[in-house]
Amino acid sequence: MKKIQELNIQTWPQKERRNASYFKEDFAIFEVSKASISNYPIKSKIYGFCLCLKGKSYGTIDLIPYELSKGKVSVNVPGQLITSDSVSEDFMGICILMSSRFVEGLGLPYDFGLYDAVKESPIISLSDKESEALHTYCKMVKELLEKQRLFQAETLKHLTCAHFYGLRAYLYQMPANKALSNNELLVKRFMNEVRKHYSKERKVSFYAEKLCVSSGYLSTVITNATGKNASEWIENFVILEAKTLLKSTNLTIQQVCDSLHFPSQSFFGKYFKRITGKSPKEYREDKG
């Protein structure tokens, strides 16, 4: 069976990066608009930043709704499932993609903490000065990649390090998160476990056992806190992954079924259609 394909810089939707400037296979920067944004879900194995300059974009990151508008930046880390559900006609932004290899090569401290911080808060609201500083960084990087050849790698590395430190300093300045109640902590732990195991485990009882609570109690807490029961959250992760594989890879439907550990293609097809109203084949062929 083929390994699940996750999107990197080379496999990122071509229409989104038509005007991109590159550094080897590890870094890309490009402008985006409504016309260039893909409308199907993606799973990324790279780091990404998108600074909104104008308009609004709505979607989900790991099924949590987001709004990206002027003065906000989305920060994405490897493994996240991302959808873009609605984009205003006047939307304009600048996106940067970085491979894990590039980020690891920056030499950031092991306890830098950016990964965990942005997993919790992937959309960051910037002040006018902070937004302008990030925009300036983007313009400097684009000019560097298009015009400067001498010491290009070193300059890009140090500019990006400065950007990361500035971003981390901003996150440190944000108001400290309030102490979570026991139920809020349980919801957070449940979501983390689902992210880790949804491709193999779809029973609420599995997660209840991991969290040392009963299935009924877990479902009640999740429903009261989120408006969706535990089974719905698990299904949503599974279906989003299936949609991503069907739209952004060349895996056969049987291979998608195997990747998500369904017992048969028939079972997978019924499961997918029950939730989406379409068969996997119909969804893959749908151009909407």
Residues 129-168 pLDDT 10s: 889 999 999 999 999 988 877 888 899 999 998 888 887 7
The pLDDT of residue 288 is 60
Number of C-beta neighbours around residue 59 at 10 A: 19
Is 163 part of any domain?
yes
Mean pLDDT within 2-29? 64
Last residue of a domain, one of 146, 173, 200: 173
Which of 153, 173, 193 terminates a domain? The answer is 173
How many Cβ atoms are within 10 Å of 202's Cβ, its own excluded?
19
Domain range for 75: 14-173
- Contact present, 40 and 89 (Cβ < 8 Å): no
Q: Residues 6 or more apart from 164 whose CB is under 8 A from it? A: 106, 108, 112, 114
Please give the share of the chain, as a percent, with pLDDT higher than 70. 85
Are 147 and 271 in a shared domain?
A: no
The answer, as to whether pTM is greater than 0.75, is no
CATH number reported for the structural domain that contains residue 199 in this entry: 1.10.10.60
Q: What is the number of structural domains in the chain?
A: 2
Any domain includes 222: yes
68 and 193 share a domain? no
